[in-house]
Structure 1
Amino acid sequence: LLWYQGESDTAAEHDAEAYRGNMEALIKDVRGDLGLPSLPVIQVAIASGDGRYMDRVRRAQLEIELPNVVCVDAKGLPLKDDHLHLTTHAQVRLGHMLADAYLQHFAP
Structure 2
Amino acid sequence: MATTPEHDERVANMKFFSVYPHYVSKVEKKGRTKEELHQVIEWLTGFNESDLQKLIDEKVTFATFFERAKLHPNASLIKGVVCGYRIEEIETPLTKQCRYLDKLIEELARGRKMEKILRKA
Do the structures match in fold with TM over 0.5? no
Q: TM-score, normalised by structure 2?
A: 0.29
Larger relative contact order (CA 8 Å, sep ≥ 6)? 2
Structure holding more strand per residue: 1
Larger radius of gyration: 1
Structure holding more helix per residue: 2
